[in-house]
Amino acid sequence: MFSKKNLVFLGPPGAGKGTFAKMLVKDLPVPHISTGDIFRHEIKNETPLGLKAKECVESGQLVPDELVTDMVVSRLGQDDCDNGFILDGFPRTLNQADLLKVALVESGKVLDAIVSFECGEEALLERLTARIMCRKCGTSYNKLFAAPKVEGQCDDCGPEGEIYQRKDDSLETATDRLKVYNEQTAPLVDFYKDSGFFIALACERGMDEIYVDLKDALK
């Protein structure tokens, strides 16, 4: 059904790439790989790369791009990636993209598609700040899809359940995240645009519609 199976998902926070990766693995049974998962796995299993990464994390340093790339390429070399993979959140910088390019050539792997999830800043901010919670019971709501029935009040706790927003979901945090993305990761769109395997997916519309286009593009 799919001819493109070695995939990189690229896009700003809030565009939905993680959600679409989770949907896609039901139709295209390949591992969904995020660098966070790789880090946790390598560190937990105390692999040589994991130990190096742990040293960086514990001393408060950024894990160098070379090390992140080595970990990703080592993960792609595992048996379950033989039939494809979805790389989610890597590469994150131009330097990582360059390193990945070289490492893939060395390991004999190719990328079949870079899927770029595209969404305007206003819609991203709206999504990234949509989560609100009840201070009393912790139930989370979504301003866009699942708002409390009475504004500012938890459905279960009533007037005692004050609705608030966590700092992680605040406009300030969302703006910062987009700024970092625009500075560090957005240049990858130009890096891959002329690669011949670049797929742009407009993400300001219904999920089902986007997903149909995603599957079509990977045929």
* Residues in a beta bridge with 198: 114
Exactly one of 131, 136, 143, 215 is catalytic; which is it? 131
54, 92, 101, 136: which one is catalytic? 92
Asked whether position 133 contacts Zn ion by CB under 5 A, the answer is no
Q: Is 166 a catalytic residue?
A: yes
The rounded distance, in Å, linking the Cα atoms of 184 and 27 is 31
User: Which structure tokens are listed for 119?
Assistant: 């969404």
Nearer to Zn ion, 164 or 182 (CB): 164
Active site residue 127: no
Per the residue annotation, which of 136, 143, 177, 215 is the catalytic one? 177
Residues near Zn ion (CB under 5 A), total: 8
Site string for Zn ion, 138-167 (x = CB under 5 A): -x--------------x-xx---x------
Does position 136 bind Zn ion by CB under 5 A? yes
Q: What is the DSSP string of 94-128?
A: HHHHHHHHHHHHHHT----EEEEEE--HHHHHHHH
Among residues 134, 163, 174, 214, the one that binds Zn ion under rule CB under 5 A: 134
| Helix, strand, coil content of the chain in percent (nearest 5) | 50, 20, 35
> Active site includes 131?
yes
The question of whether 135 is a catalytic residue gets the answer: no
CB-wise, 7 or 130, nearer to Zn ion?
130
Residue 124 has a CB neighbour count (10 Å cut-off) of: 23
Which of 144-160 are b and which e, b meaning 16 or more Cβ less than 10 Å from the residue's Cβ? Answer: eeeebeeeebbeebeee
- The tokens for 62 are 């950024």
**Catalytic, out of 17, 52, 75, 127:** 17
Q: Active-site residue numbers?
A: 17, 92, 131, 166, 177
Q: Which residues bind Zn ion (CB under 5 A)?
A: 134, 136-137, 139, 154, 156-157, 161
